[in-house]
Structure 1
Amino acid sequence: MTIDARSVRTDRLSTFVREAGDPSAPVLLLVHGNVSSSVFFEELMEDLAADFHLIAPDYRGYGDSERKVVDATRGMADFSDDLAALLDTLGVEGPVDVLGWSAGGNIALQLAIDHPGRVRRIVLEASGSPYGFGGTTGLEGRPVAADFAGSGGGTANPEFCRAIAEGDRGDGPTSPRTTLRSFYVRPGFTFDPDVEEKYVDGMLRMSIGEDVYPGDLTPTDTWPGVAPGTTGTNNALSPKYLDQSVFARLDPVPPVLWIRGADDQIVSDTSMFDLAQLGRLGVVPGYPGEEVCPTQPMVSQLRTVLQAGGGEVTEIVYEECGHSPHLEHPERFAQDVREFLLR
């Protein structure tokens, strides 16, 4: 099986795309997560190429795609519009199936919301909450603070951002490699060394700054001292700009297969990347308490929105699995996806 890798110029930007499978087969669009690239899908593409025409682009500013400002005030719409433009340029007609991993799940939902004719079925892999990342509570995604403090560009660890910008390939506590080993997968999971290097490459090949990742920030007197800015990926994931609960009101609601790991530390009802959870654990100082700044139940929020739509929703939880089921349980994941999309 050969993966064709090339840049495709659309009317929005130059998008780097990995493509595999028979062009006459059903299209499956693969959308990667934050701080990654389409290289993370190469093994999955090998597993699925016999059944699908696979299209795996890099986000704007990620991997080998063109660096362009992410307008966070549109939520995830810059990314979903980029995908729609790519499908147009590739001459893909009719609805496609979409698999979104982590923040890619939010992009898949946005594509269905803004371009409903484009999406037939959705596979959500460890998808983020429809109310974004940080700054909300309750099943209905109620904002914790009026200025949405605790979400946006200021929530990223600056040492982690610096490590990416400097091309850090080491195993220090804030390095991309350590983050990959400790959070992208369940601690204790080991990669083939060559594969790990490829994934570290994918993490390092992204733009660091206010325009792409993590984005700008707004200082605030509200704990933890940062509120969202207006540009960059993490601001696009702020609930100030992102509310995808309207997905439940689509007609029809696309069938959804939702696969997640039981040990996911990134997208969780007790996420180790939620500043409120870190404050509750004493990692971030000055925490005002659960009554003032409750944690975000990310998984429960997503389940509530999916169930509200009344459509077909299949939730599968993999035991002994972190944030990347397709990396940790590749054969099972490919088979679950194949069965869902081909039935």
Structure 2
Amino acid sequence: MTSAIVAADHLLDGVSALDVSTARLRQRVLVPTRCADALLAGEAERVVVLAHGSLSSSLIFQRLLLALAEARPQVVPIALDFRGFGGTEPAPVDATRGLRDLSDDLLALLDALDVPAADLLGWSMGAGVVARAAADAPGRARTLTLLAPISPFGFGGTSGPQGRLTTPEAAGTGSGGTVWRFAWLLAAKSHNGWGTRLVPELFSPRGVIRAMYTAPRLLPWPDEDLWVTAMCTTHVSPDHYPGDMRFTWRWPYFAPGRRGILNAMSPLYCRWDDLVDSPARPPILWMRGDLDIVASDLSLLDTAVVSGAFLAPWIPFAATASHPMVSQTRAVLDRYVRAGGRYEEVVLPGVGHSVHLESPTRVLEALLAHLDRVPVLTR
């Protein structure tokens, strides 16, 4: 393993970027500068890993990195870029493995940094990644923090608390649901599309962040330029975002392909409900916003919800069962408790999908309390 501090754009004061060569790929990691030496020397007393969601990168975690390092000097927080995002090597995503390409990358990073176990925090897709890593490698996760997680049964295409597939091929999930105007603007790194910073085009990266990733808002957020920059680090290709797709005769006539990140989150390939069966059950903190329209029981990114609301009167079979993501997550975590684990659910009022960005103080407080319940173990 080789790792080194590297120059990187868009870093806040006090944050450093590392490139770490693992057994799988070269991975970009952000760390508070004051913690970098301990991390590189393999002397970190306690490591907290922050895993971003789709259409994002480690850049969005910089405020949380600095706040964690300030509040708990014994903690070394790091934020990683997944393949296809940020500064990590853009290796292709095999969607048929679900999120395992990403979770195996995370575990390889811990190996390369000589970290036997870490506290894992994931947002949205990243929550599915850290849960997948905890299920596949019992004992590597000391605690889990799930911020607005994708369902334990992937994204879209299932019904009921047990996550039953609505069609055998998971029709309506995967890359086929992409708004292609957004994908084009993302590839062009056009922050605002035809609009402006104050009034961006709806399907521009900035417009999507304001309308969907946060509780709807007309005015810019204080760190919004950084968030948009993080989104625009996404690699747009059939191997990354959004991926390839297949035709199906069932509504809405597309099914997930075998490549790319959106297909990797399809319920045809993705799930993490088997965390319940793991011999090691780390304590879980689940945080979500009550105005989340992405990971919710009526997600506006769920083809079934959109079809049922707008197309059902005119297109046969357009009304299909929606994917109750929050209810499915709660059902699986309740099973986790019955199996001997424990979890805490925290709902933030007036907050959308990006809980750590919209309510950073409340998230930090809950995370610190969660970490403090598990004492620091020295090597």
Task: State TM-score, norm by structure 1.
Answer: 0.95
1:334 aligns with 2:357: no
Residues 221-265 of structure 1: CA deviation (Å, up to 9, x unaligned): 111111010011111111111122211111232110000000000
- 1:225 partner amino acid: Y
Q: State the 1:280 CA deviation.
A: 1.1
For 1:265 and 1:25, locate their aligned partners in 2 and report how far apart those are by CA, in whole Å: 38
Partner of 2:250: 222
Q: State the 1:35 CA deviation.
A: 0.2
Q: State the 1:197 CA deviation.
A: 1.3
Partner of 1:11: 23
Counterpart of 2:262 in 1: which secondary structure? helix
Residues 188-230 of structure 1: CA deviation (Å, up to 9, x unaligned): 275445x211111111111101101111100111111110100
Q: Is the CA contact 2:159–2:322 (under 8 Å) kept in the aligned structure 1?
A: yes
For 1:162 and 1:27, locate their aligned partners in 2 and report how far apart those are by CA, in whole Å: 37
For 2:287 and 2:311, locate their aligned partners in 1 and report how far apart those are by CA, in whole Å: 29
| Match for residue 86 of structure 1 among 100, 109, 115 | 109
Partner of 1:288: 317
Equivalent pairs counted in the alignment come to 339
Q: Is the CA contact 2:296–2:325 (under 8 Å) kept in the aligned structure 1?
A: yes
| Match for residue 134 of structure 1 among 144, 151, 156 | 156
Q: Is the CA contact 2:52–2:81 (under 8 Å) kept in the aligned structure 1?
A: yes
Deviates more, 1:21-30 or 1:296-305: 21-30
- 1:201 partner amino acid: T
Q: Is the CA contact 1:130–1:302 (under 8 Å) kept in the aligned structure 2?
A: yes
Q: Is the CA contact 2:139–2:280 (under 8 Å) kept in the aligned structure 1?
A: no
Partner of 2:185: 163
Partner of 2:355: 325
Residues 138-195 of structure 1: CA deviation (Å, up to 9, x unaligned): 10000001111011111221111111001112111210000011111101275445x2
For 2:347 and 2:106, locate their aligned partners in 1 and report how far apart those are by CA, in whole Å: 28
1:205 aligns with 2:233: yes
For 1:214 and 1:61, locate their aligned partners in 2 and report how far apart those are by CA, in whole Å: 10
1:148 aligns with 2:176: no
Counterpart of 2:139 in 1: which secondary structure? helix
Task: State TM-score, norm by structure 2.
Answer: 0.86
Counterpart of 2:24 in 1: which secondary structure? coil
| Match for residue 65 of structure 2 among 45, 66, 71 | 45
For 1:40 and 1:298, locate their aligned partners in 2 and report how far apart those are by CA, in whole Å: 24
For 2:309 and 2:99, locate their aligned partners in 1 and report how far apart those are by CA, in whole Å: 30
Partner of 1:69: 92
Distance 1:175 1:287, change over 3 A: farther
Counterpart of 1:28 in 2: which secondary structure? strand
Q: Is the CA contact 1:279–1:287 (under 8 Å) kept in the aligned structure 2?
A: no
Greater Cα radius of gyration, structure 1 or 2:
2
Partner of 2:144: 122
C-alpha RMSD of the superposition: 1.5
Q: State the 1:6 CA deviation.
A: 2.1
| Match for residue 173 of structure 1 among 195, 198, 202 | 202
Which structure 2 segments of 5+ residues have no match?
1-12, 39-43, 193-199, 374-379
